[in-house]
Structure formats: C-alpha cells, structure tokens
Structure 1
Amino acid sequence: MLGWRDFHRMKAREIAVQIGLVLLVLVIVIGSVRSAQVNLAALGITSGYSFLDRATGWSYSFSLLERSIDDPYARTLLIGFLNTIFVGSTSIVLATILGFAIGTMRDSRNLGLQVISSIYIQVFRNIPLILQVVFLYALLIHFPGPRQAHSIADAIFMSNRGIMVPVLSLPLSVVAGLVLGSVLLGIGAARLAGSARQARAVWLAGTAALFVAAALLLAPEGRDLVSYPELKGLRFVGGLTLSVELVAMIVGVVLYGAAYIGEVVRGGLAEVPKGLREAGESLGLGTFAVWWTIRMPMALRSIIPPLGNQWIFIMKATTVGVAIGFSDLFYIVSTSITQSGQTLELIAILMGAFLLVNFALAQAVNWLNARLALKGYGA
C-alpha cells in the first residue's frame, strides 16, 4: 500500500513530466519560428505584422462598416472577421429554426410530412456545400436586371444585383450593434428570468424598445423612419441591398446545416420514452402541447451536445464563400496574401480568429448544456 510520501513523489513526477512536455513543445515551436524567419530573410521576404498599417489598395463585395481602398490591412481584416461572424451567426440561427422544423416533421405521425422532410435531408445533406452555394449564386445572377426586377408588395425587389428590402434609416453598423444588443439581452433574460415565458417576454419587449429608441434618437433629420428601395435609372436607391454573394452564402449554408440539425432533432425526440407522449395525450393535451411541454424539454438534453458541433461546423463552413467572391475573413486573408506576400502572418491571423470564435461558441454550448442538465447529473 502506497504511503503519503510515495503518493506525493508520484504526483511530483507526473507534474515534472507534464512541465517537461510543455517546455519541449515550446522549444520546438520557438525553433520552428526562428528557422522560418531566417529562411524568409535569406529569400528577401520580410516577416512581422508591420504590413497591417499599409493601405490595401483593393475593394471587395460586402462590408458591415464603411470601407475604401485606402483602408489599412488591419481594418480590412477586421471587416472580414465581422462579415464571417455576421454570416455565421445568421446562418446558425436560421439553420437551427429550420432544422427543428425538419426534425419535428421527420418524427411526425403524418406520412406526408415524413416523406417531405426525408427527401429534404437526403438532397441537401448529400450534395457538397460548395456546389450548393455555387449553384445558388449562378441562379441569382441570372435573375432579371433592376428594371425587370421581381417585386413583393412593391417593397421588396429581387434582381441580378441582389435583394433590395426596406430598412430603418440607420447606418448598417448601428443596425448590427442593435442585433448584437438584442442577442445579449436575450442571454441576460435567459439567465435572470424565472421561466422561459418571462425570458421571452423580456427579450421581445427589450428588443422592440431598443430598436424604437435607436430609430427615434439616431435617425437622420429630414428622412423617413423607414427607407424603401426605389428604382432610379438602372439601379435601386434607398433601402438595404443584400448582395448576390451574401444571399447565396446564407441560403446555401442554412439549407445545408438544417439538414444535419434536423437529424439531430429527430434523434433527440426519438429518445423520449413513448409512454410520456401517451401520458400527455391521456390528459387531453394536443399534439403541439405534448411536443412543447413534454417531448422537446426532455429531448433538448440529448440534442444540445451534437447541436453545438453543428453550430461550430456552420461557422467554419462560411469559408466556402471564397468560391463566389464573398468577402468573409478567408477571402480577405487569401487576397491579402496575394497582395502583400505575408503568408505565415495572415494564416496565423486566420487560424487565431477561427480558434477564438469556435472556442467561444463551444463554451456557450457547454454553459447551455449545464443549464439543461438534471440536478445531480451535471458535469
């Protein structure tokens, strides 16, 4: 039997081995970096991040912030990062909503809904994402021109320039800030409210108040509260133009991600004991009431972990935008490498950005999973 002194000796040996491995890794990394610097210097290639202060001299298709060709690389990379976050977060929300609908249809007793959802999953899950995005892009650029644009209620227009929609008369950066504020408000309401119904009410009221206050206080004087797109000559003015690249990216990623999320939801619902559904029905609850109050709360505990993996996958899937010229971070980095030649530095920035985003997303999923875990069974 090991004594107290022997136990401490073994622990000290384990800690020493771990420290040694960490130091070995650091030595290898530092040596590799120094070797790369020496080799680059021998080839006449400068290294470092001083290039971030230089002007890019080129433009791109989409930005949430004001941009120009005179922007430095640092600002251009920031815009690409924000574009990636915007497309990824929007796609995650929409794919989750559609995926839950598809998964519920797959688990339905209605044969028609089962067939439709099964066909959807088989089609969109088995066609490569990049092929779907390229197909959607090719389809959108073959829409008619602005003068023959398809319209919905004379407020929304679809042409080969993109989709034009009404928007609050606020800068796009302010709208993005309002969306972020709404998300943070929802997270705070979920943590502090006593029930899901209270959290939903607080979030809806707070978001509405946030947008109304911003529209009243920040809207430019002399302009309508809502800006509508209008055809002037060969182009639309006013409103918000969603570029062809942006629409193809979001639609493609959402349709693809929802197919996988639908299977995750179907598997979670299948794990709920059949007796619970029958018990709810015996109490007079309708199909939706059984789904909402019994099956889905139980299924969420098994849905969230794989759902988090799909969210991370969707965020990484935004890199396919480079195939159609969408200016996400991967596209900006690729173009910056061509223009500046700072390959290692820019790839390091790209990897660090995705590591930061996906690590934060994983931590959010872990927190949500812990909140839903049964007492006494949480990690």
Structure 2
Amino acid sequence: MAAATAQSRKTAQVRRLLIQAVIVIAIMVIIWSTYTTAQTNLNALGITGGYAFLERATGWSYSFSLLPRSVDDTYLRTLTIGFINTLFLGSLCIVLSTVLGFVIGSIRDTSNLALQTIASAYVQLFRNLPLILQLVFWYAVFIHLPGPRQAHTLGDIAFFSNRGLMLPALNLSGEIALILLLGSILLGVIVLLVRISVARALVIWASGTAIAIAVCLLIFVPQGESIVSVPALKGLRFLGGMQMTIELVAMIVAIVLYSSAYIAEVVRGGLAEVPKGLIEAGQALGLSGRTIWSRIKLPMALRSIVPPLGNQWIFVMKATTIGVAIGFSDLFMIVSTSLTQTGQTLELIAILMGCFLLINFALAQLVDLINRRMQLKAH
C-alpha cells in the first residue's frame, strides 16, 4: 500500500514537471516566432534592428529637463533624461499625494460633520472625474495665466505665470541636485533595512541628507555667490531659481488631486478598522483626541493602510504617461517621439517596458519592506 502511494506521488510529480516543461517550451516558441516574424517585416521595410540608433543625435528638443539638454543629444541621453523626468514627477506626486491623502482621509474620520462633508465632496469630485480630463482642464487654466511681467507673486521670491512656476532653489547644478536626490533616496532605503525605530530612522535620514547638502554647498558654490538662487524678472523671462514648466505644474496638480482622493479612502478605511476598544481605553485614560489619533489610531491603522497604499504609489508612477497629451517630456513622450523619428519600434517599446518594470518592481519591494517593518512581532 505504501509503495503504491509513493509510486502515485512520483507519477504525479513527473506529470507536473512535464506540463511545466511543455508550457515553457511553448512560450519560448511563441516568443521566437514573434521575434523572427517582426525581424522579417522590419527587413522588408528597410529598417535595421538593434540599438545602434542610441548613439545618433536626435535633432529635436523638448519642454522640460532636470539636466542640460540640446538638439545634438544622442537618443541614449534623451531617453535617460526622459527616465529621470518620469522618476522626478512620479516621486514628487507620490509624496504630495500621500500627504494630502492622509489629511483628507483623517478629516473624513473626524466627528465634525462640516469637515466630513467637505472631505467627502473632495473625494467624490476628484475620484470620479477621468484623470486625463482633469489634466487637460488644469493645463487650459494655467496657459491662460498672465505673462511674466504680470505674474502672480509670493513675497517676490516665487512667481507663477503662463511660462510656469518659478521658485527659489539651491545654487547647485542640475547634476549635483540629482545626485543629492538619488543619494537621499538610497539613504532612506538603507535606513529602512536597519532594525531601528521609525522615529530614529527619520532622524538619521534627515541628518544625513542635511549634511550631504551642506557639504555640496561648501564645495560647489563659488565664494561670493549666494547659497540660494532667487528668480528675478529680466526682460520677458525669469532668470535664476528653479523653473517648473506649465506642463509639469499641470501634471503635478492633476495627478496629486486625483490620486490623493483614492489614498484618502485607503486612509479612512484603515482608521475605521482600528478596534473601538482601543480608542475607548485611550479616552478612559484621559488622552486627548489628538493624542489618541497619533499614538493609537494611526499606528494601528498603518498596518492595514500600507499594502493598498503601495498599489496607489505604483498607479501614480504609471499615471505619468498621460503627460504625452500636453507635451510633457516624460519617458513615454520621449519614446513616442523617438519611435516616430527612428522606426525602432521593438527596441524602444522594450526600453519603455523595462524602465517601468524596474521602477514599479522597486516600488513594490520598498512597500513590502515597509510592511514587514510595521508588522507586529510575536515573542
């Protein structure tokens, strides 16, 4: 009987392996057949495959870049700039959406009926309007702002016109600022990997980032020049500071308003799952409503908020592709233009897919790391 059972298990295992092998072979055959068919069609059209085109100059420019650019840039540099633009826009929108979403979600959880109504109206309005519609609306509003000479100003240090948003910035080159940003993100990930409290991790991250910025300012800012560059109107344009183009501002506003409405619902749902007994215990101890929220409700709710919050972060990063509708130079727009100019369809689509797979996989791993750090440990 035992021998028959063992033989049956062995037969089932062999059958599973054979099925898996057949599936793998079938997938490989389909991929190879697709590749050879595409190569045949491209050769018939006189298009040479491969990535040699990356070394050619593009001959065209675009609206926004964190790094210096020119029409003589190669496709490789142009695609790299598009990738950096996508990372910059997505990261900024993730931070702003998360902060605003937590504020709106927390307001929806309050007992104040007026605040609840306002927060609910916000969620229903921005969540139920298509994102592309919101983007086009804000872009149409911003391009009809006054010109630079009549720009809206805040204390004569920030200006908003139909040319974009001008803000004060550290007097560092784009390359140095980008290195600082990437270093700060890397430091944050390293700190998360270390088994220390969240508060201590935040202190280490903030201190390390501040020290790195101070060192770069001492090394790269020439003597006699100001540490902070403030924009100033010179003729018909602003010089100095940091310029955020109208396309970038419209993208940030549309994505943040849209995604924060979803994040607010995630936060509200997480706060609603906190056991009422814990809240009543805090009230019995005489804790204030603010203390109960910060020391009891939020820490408990975060354990159910983080997983769906990670899905929203990935959505925000993918939502950056709608910038092609208004000409924002993210990776998707750069790839689309390059595809039209070169005809290297397979190569450029592969680059686009690989970049987004890399970004979203890294985000998923980061969320998983945060989630593991927040789980209660059994002793």
Does residue 1:7 correspond to 2:28, yes or no? no
In structure 1, give the amino acid aligned to 2:265.
E
**Helix, strand or coil: the match of 1:35?**
helix
2:171 and 2:303 map into 1 onto residues whose CA distance is 42
Aligned counterpart for 1:293 among listed residues 292, 295, 299: 295
2:22 matched to which residue of 1?
A: 20
Q: Paired residue for 1:333?
A: 335
Q: After alignment, is 258-267 or 11-20 more displaced?
A: 11-20
Give me the whole-angstrom Cα distance separating, in 2, the residues matched to 1:49 and 1:179: 30
Deviations 1:47-82 (A, max 9, x none): 222211111000001111111111111111111111
Structure 1 equivalent of residue 210 of structure 2: 208
1:175-228: CA deviation from partner (whole Å, max 9, x where unpaired):
122122222222333332632222222222222212111111111344211111
Determine the C-alpha separation between the residues in 1 that align with 2:224 and 2:39. 57
Aligned residue type for 1:328: D
Residues 283-316 of structure 1: per-residue CA shift (max 9 Å, x gap): 1211121111111111111111111111111100
Q: List aligned pairs for 1:166-177, cutoff 5 A.
A: 166-177=168-179
In structure 2, distance between residues paired with 1:370 and 1:248: 35
User: After the TM superposition, which segments of 4 or more aligned residues of structure 1 sit over 4 Å from their partners?
Assistant: none
Residue type of the alignment partner of 1:220: P
Residues of 1 paired with 2:104 and 2:346: CA distance? 42
Is 1:356 equivalent to 2:354 in the alignment? no
The residue aligned with 1:130 is: 132
Give the match's secondary structure for 1:158: strand
TM-align CA RMSD: 1.6
SS of corresponding position for 1:3: helix
Paired residues of 1:133 and 1:249 also in contact (CA < 8 A): yes
Q: Distance in 1 between matches of 2:377 and 2:13?
A: 32
Partners of 1:105 and 1:207 lie apart in 2 by: 32
For 1:31 and 1:153, locate their aligned partners in 2 and report how far apart those are by CA, in whole Å. Answer: 63
Residues 169 and 220 of structure 1 are in contact (CA less than 8 Å); yes or no, is this contact kept in structure 2? no
Partner of 2:180, secondary structure, is: helix
Q: 2:320 aligns with which of 300, 318, 321?
A: 318
CA displacement at 1:254 relative to structure 2: 0.7
Provide the TM-score with structure 2 as the length reference: 0.95
Deviates more, 1:188-197 or 1:35-44: 188-197
Per-residue displacement from partner, 1:314-362 (whole Å, max 9, x unpaired)? Answer: 1000001011110001100111111111122212211121111111211
Counterpart contact for 2:166–2:231, Cα < 8 Å:
yes
SS at match of 2:216: helix
1:280 aligns with one of 279, 282, 306 = 282
Q: Is the partner of 2:132 in helix, strand or coil?
A: helix
Amino acid at match of 1:247: V
Count the aligned residue pairs: 377
- Kindly tell me: are residues 158 and 234 of structure 1, through their superposed partners in 2, closer, same or farther at Cα, counting changes over 3 Å? same
CA offset digits 1:214-263 (Å, max 9, x no partner): 11111134421111111111111111111111111111111110000000
Alignment partner of 2:247: what SS?
Answer: helix
Residue from 137, 142, 147 that aligns with 1:145: 147
Of 323-332 and 354-363, deviating more is 354-363
Deviations 1:22-52 (A, max 9, x none): 1210111011100111122122222222211
Task: Describe how 1:167-206 pairs up with structure 2 within 5 A.
Answer: 167-192=169-194, 194-206=196-208
1:70 to 69, 72, 84: 72
| Structure-2 residue corresponding to 1:268 | 270
Question: 2: distance between equivalents of 1:203 and 1:41?
Answer: 53
SS in 2 for 1:304: helix
For structure 2, the 5+ residue unaligned runs are: none
1: CA distance, partners of 2:377 / 2:15:
37
SS in 2 for 1:163: strand
**Cα distance change on mapping 1:259 and 1:330 into 2, 3 Å:** same
- String of CA shifts for 1:67-100, please: whole Å, max 9, x gaps: 1111111111111111111101111111011101
Q: Using the alignment, how far apart are the partners of 2:191 and 2:25 within structure 1?
A: 44
Report the Cα distance in structure 2 between the residues aligned to 1:34 and 1:81, rounded to whole angstroms. 29
**Distance in 2, Cα, partners of 1:366 & 1:157:** 40
Structure 1 length normalisation: TM-score? 0.95
SS in 2 for 1:223: coil
Aligned-residue identity in percent: 59
Counterpart Cα distance in 2 of 1:200 and 1:368: 13
- Structure 1 alignment gaps of length 5 or more: none
Asked if 2 retains the 8 angstrom alpha-carbon contact of 1:280 and 1:290, the reply is yes
Deviates more, 1:165-174 or 1:221-230: 221-230
Distance in 1 (CA, whole Å) between partners of 2:295 and 2:10 is 52
Matched letter for residue 67 of structure 2: L
Match of residue 258 from structure 1: 260
